[in-house]
Amino acid sequence: MSQEFEYMLYELDIRYTNEMLEQFQRYYDILIEWNKVMNLTGITEHAEVISKHFIDSLSIVKAIDMNRISNLIDIGTGAGFPGIPIKIVFPHVKVTLLDSLKKRIKFLDTVIEELDIQDINAVHGRAEEFANQKSYREKYELCVSRAVANLASLSEYCLPFVNIGGNFISYKSADIEDELNTSKNAIKILGGKIKEVNKFQLPATDITRSLVVVNKINKSDSKVPRRAGIPTKEPL
């Protein structure tokens, strides 16, 4: 890994080891190799993967103290972002990666095995289905997602996984005022409340990001999430 990556980690006040740096390098190598045969990411240049995937994933430290989190679920994880970078740097956190595409799960399983990461599980399925299972519903202190979806829809997919007192954190771009306003009703119905919005620039870049922190204050209605596709087509 590059010195620039180490500098970015320093800027985020993240403590790291040489083993972690080696895991990130291996992760990058596997990502690029698999990306030749399946569409995992349009970002492949080393420096860009570092800033736009690894550091972006780890920027969650600006919104929450990960040392106090024991478990999390990453909804629509794709190529493992933000779940795997968080797991590498905070190995004590038990991580569930959920994605609806089976071939992505095969990739994630390979990364987990190659990096020799413990207490992390890649699960194939849709959030709408798993959120209604007793073993997943309201079982997590933290739910994270970098998925591209409206915050109202994303909240319906994610908040049912969060226990009362826990948080859902959505990775968003800088300009989210309209989205925040249109999502307030959905978030309230789902038992959540917008706690704060952290806006910042990723270290050593001109990329502005927002982390929306939604606190779970009440149980989610048993009728949510609605069946597949509806949260996206008809947000609450």
Task: Give the confidence band of 235 by pLDDT, cuts at 50, 70, 90.
Answer: confident
How far apart, in whole angstroms, are the C-alpha atoms of residue 170 and residue 208? 14
Q: Which pLDDT tens digit goes with each residue over 7-29? A: 999 999 999 999 999 999 999 99
User: Which amino acid is present at 42?
Assistant: G
Is the pLDDT at 222 greater than 90, yes or no? no
In this model, does residue 95 exceed pLDDT 90? yes
pLDDT surpassing 90 at residue 2: no
Strands 208-216 and 192-201: antiparallel
Mean model confidence pLDDT for the chain:
93
Task: State how far Cα 227 lies from the chain centre.
Answer: 22
- Say how far apart CA 143 and CA 140 lie, in whole Å: 7
Q: Where are the domains of the chain?
A: 3-230
pLDDT in tens, 37-71: 999 999 999 999 999 999 999 999 999 999 999 99
β-strands 162-173, 94-99: how paired? unpaired
Written as six digits, the tokens of 66 are 């990960």
Question: Residue 234's pLDDT is what?
Answer: 75
193 pLDDT more than 80: yes
Tokens of 164: 């009362």
- In the predicted model, what is the mean pLDDT of residues 107-112? 98
Q: At 140, which helix (H) or strand (E)?
A: strand 140-145
CA distance 127 to 88: 24
One CATH from 3.40.920.10, 3.40.50.2300, 3.90.1150.10, 3.40.50.150 for 3-230? 3.40.50.150
pLDDT band at 78 (very low <50, low <70, confident <90, very high): very high
Measured between alpha carbons, how far is residue 18 from residues 6, 11, 22, 49, 82 in Å?
A: 10, 17, 6, 19, 20
Angle 196-189-170 (CA atoms, 0-180°, nearest 5)? 35
At 121-173, the pLDDT tens digits run 999 999 999 998 999 999 999 999 998 788 999 999 999 999 999 999 999 98
